């Protein structure tokens, strides 16, 4: 069975960023037949991210690395992803995500940040060995209530690139 992990790097728990990431995972799962693992909301782990070793964080790190697809989402902070997300991803060694395909998402407050996801989060995931077969998603935070439609349109356009992840 193909599995999808959802990793949310918003310092605020149960954020709009999480809603968008979970919508992406749900729609991909519906189309592919994959199973979505429980969301990893880093806001719930913020007090443990910098502890080494930290068994619970290490288990979650391994959970992401063993998924077939990981949806990685963060709000845009200073034109990039959050430090919280970076601290979690720093727990991976070289090629730590080499068996994973990833969908990078940044929720944005301004159209000025539209390319931030392509210039910051995508290269980080690729550096860790992840495959990023689709366009990244710069999701306008103000449009969170319309996420089903927006994500559906993105998935319609990108499915031909993402489908091979689920082909076995």
> Distance between CA atoms of 136 and 108, rounded to whole angstroms?
12
> Distance between CA atoms of 108 and 30, rounded to whole angstroms?
26
- DSSP-derived 3-state class of residue 5: strand
Give the pLDDT confidence of 88-111 residue by residue, as tens digits.
Answer: 999 999 999 999 999 999 999 999
- DSSP-derived 3-state class of residue 16: helix
> Distance between CA atoms of 32 and 50, rounded to whole angstroms?
35
The pLDDT value recorded for residue 83 is 97
Q: What is the DSSP letter of 43?
A: G
Structural domain for 116, as ranges:
3-166
Assessment of whether the complete model's pTM goes beyond 0.85: yes
Q: What is the CATH number of the domain that holds 115?
A: 3.40.50.360
């Amino acid at each position: 069975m193909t599995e999808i992990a959802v990793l949310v790097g918003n310092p605020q728990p149960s954020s709009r960023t999480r809603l968008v990431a979970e919508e992406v995972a749900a729609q991909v799962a519906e189309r592919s037949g994959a199973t979505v693992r429980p969301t990893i909301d880093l806001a719930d782990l913020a007090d443990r991210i910098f502890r080494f070793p930290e068994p619970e964080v290490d288990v979650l790190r391994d959970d992401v690395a063993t998924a077939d697809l990981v949806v990685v989402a963060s709000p845009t902070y200073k034109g990039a992803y959050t430090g919280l997300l970076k601290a979690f991803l720093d727990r991976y060694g070289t090629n730590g995500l080499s068996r994973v395909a990833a969908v990078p998402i940044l929720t944005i407050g301004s159209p000025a940040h539209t390319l931030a996801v392509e210039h910051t989060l995508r290269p980080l995931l690729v550096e860790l060995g992840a495959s990023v077969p689709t366009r990244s998603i710069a999701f306008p935070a103000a449009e969170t209530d319309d996420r089903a439609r927006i994500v559906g349109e993105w998935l319609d356009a990108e499915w031909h690139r993402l489908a091979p992840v689920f082909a076995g």
